[in-house]
Amino acid sequence: MKFTSVCIIGLLLSCVLPAVGGQVVLVNGDTLTGTIDSIVGGKLQLRSPLLGTVEIDMIHVDSVTSDELVTVVLSDGRSVVRRLRAAAPRTAQLQDDAGHVDLDVALDEIDAINPPPKPEPQWTGSITGSVTSIHGNTRSQSIQASVSVSKRTETDRTSAGADYGRATRRNDSTGKDDTTEDWWRLRAKYDRFFSEKFYGYIEGRYAVDKVADLDRRIIGGAGVGYQWIESERMNFSTEAGAAYISEKYKNDGTDDRITAQLGYHFDTQLNSILTFNHDLSYFPSTETFSDYYLTTTFELRARLTEKMYTSFRTIFDYDATPAPDKTSTDIRHILGVGWDF
């Protein structure tokens, strides 16, 4: 009833007042005049000098006219600046500044008119940490920390991260602290999207693990990827490429090799509280297939507040050719508290 009253008032005013920049004809024949402010999310906003701003669902609109140039975003992604002229029912003609009509489009093909500017891409990230200190019959201390940042634009994605862990335990025989964990790693990656789903990437990694006698592991890689799913609730991508690995072990020289590189990333919002993240990277040597390096991470986060969370994380590393007298497998379980920023 309220909407009908507005239409009647608009129709009466249109009979006594000149047009003020635009006109909307509804499917029931009613006509409203004013300035076409925008069409966003299937809603048309018409600004009338007497009625104020009127919002109309596009399913009720038969034609739209605008004497002023407006920005028209079409369903195929094109964006043009044109005047709107009425044509066949549920159709609009796009007229350039010189008055030439260069395109007829159905109203359903118009995604938006004068859409608000998109927000500038921002860096986002998280930092997680945990500290354990035991003093008594057993004396031990440990600290783990990780930080990750990323920024996504329409054409690229940049990400970086760092992890650190150190732990000591008092040796009752010597009275000194033995180091049971001392490692850190860095990673930076850049993705360039060639289409909505397909992208190329370059990345670099650096790792040190003193307990495993690893003085350094440097990885440089490049390849292509496919973004199967990208949404606020779920993301999944796969990648394939080539990499160069340089490893230096304590008292065991350097091992340099070219490898293939395969990997994927998956994360999902399980519910309003829980989030699951998982990634895997596999580097088989191009010379000896049995010589490979694999690293994968599993993480479950439980939301405490809008920004704060608890995290249980497992990091699994496998090096088929470790340092002498060292095992190939390293598994780390980390329970901590984190903050999104």
What is the residue extent of each domain of the chain? 2-113, 124-340
Residue 294 contacts residue 281 (beta carbons within 8 Å): yes
Q: What is the mean pLDDT of residues 269-286?
A: 97
Asked if the model's pLDDT at residue 223 lies above 50, the reply is yes
Query: Within 13 Å of residue 156, how many CA atoms lie on the same side as its CB?
Result: 9
Asked if the model's pLDDT at residue 12 lies above 50, the reply is no
Asked if the model's pLDDT at residue 284 lies above 80, the reply is yes
Buried b / exposed e along 66-105 (16+ C-beta atoms within 10 A): bbeebebbeeeeeeeebbbbeeeeebbbbbeeeeeeeeeb
Q: What is the mean pLDDT of residues 11-37?
A: 72
Q: What is the mean pLDDT of residues 64-86?
A: 90
Q: Which two tokens stand for residue 227?
A: 């973004």
Q: Looking at the domain 124-340, which fold is it?
A: Porin (2.40.160)
Whole-angstrom distance, CA of residue 328 vs CA of residue 295: 12
pLDDT of residue 147: 98
Q: What is the mean pLDDT of residues 252-260?
A: 90
Residue 210 contacts residue 197 (beta carbons within 8 Å): no
**How much is the mean pLDDT over the chain?**
90
| Short-list 7, 60, 70, 58, CA closest to 33 | 7
Asked if the model's pLDDT at residue 235 lies above 70, the reply is yes
| Short-list 218, 256, 249, 251, CA closest to 322 | 249
Asked if the model's pLDDT at residue 108 lies above 50, the reply is yes
Segment 294-336, tens digit of pLDDT: 999 999 999 999 999 999 999 999 999 998 889 999 999 999 9
Place of tokens 């350094």: 216
Asked if the model's pLDDT at residue 205 lies above 70, the reply is yes
**Taken in order 95, 98, 100, 102, is the CA torsion positive or negative?**
negative
Residue 112 contacts residue 73 (beta carbons within 8 Å): yes
Helices (H), the chain: 2-16
Residue 217 contacts residue 245 (beta carbons within 8 Å): yes
Q: Which residue has the higher pLDDT, 175 or 249?
A: 249
Whole-angstrom distance, CA of residue 300 vs CA of residue 132: 20
| Rg (the chain; Cα; Å) | 30
pLDDT of residue 340: 97
C-alpha distances in angstroms, 331 versus 100, 185, 216, 335? 68, 15, 18, 13
pLDDT of residue 173: 80
User: In what helix (H) or strand (E) does residue 238 lie, and over which residues does it extend?
Assistant: strand 234-249
Asked if the model's pLDDT at residue 16 lies above 50, the reply is no
pLDDT of residue 6: 44
pLDDT of residue 13: 41
C-alpha distances in angstroms, 230 versus 7, 190, 198? 42, 17, 12
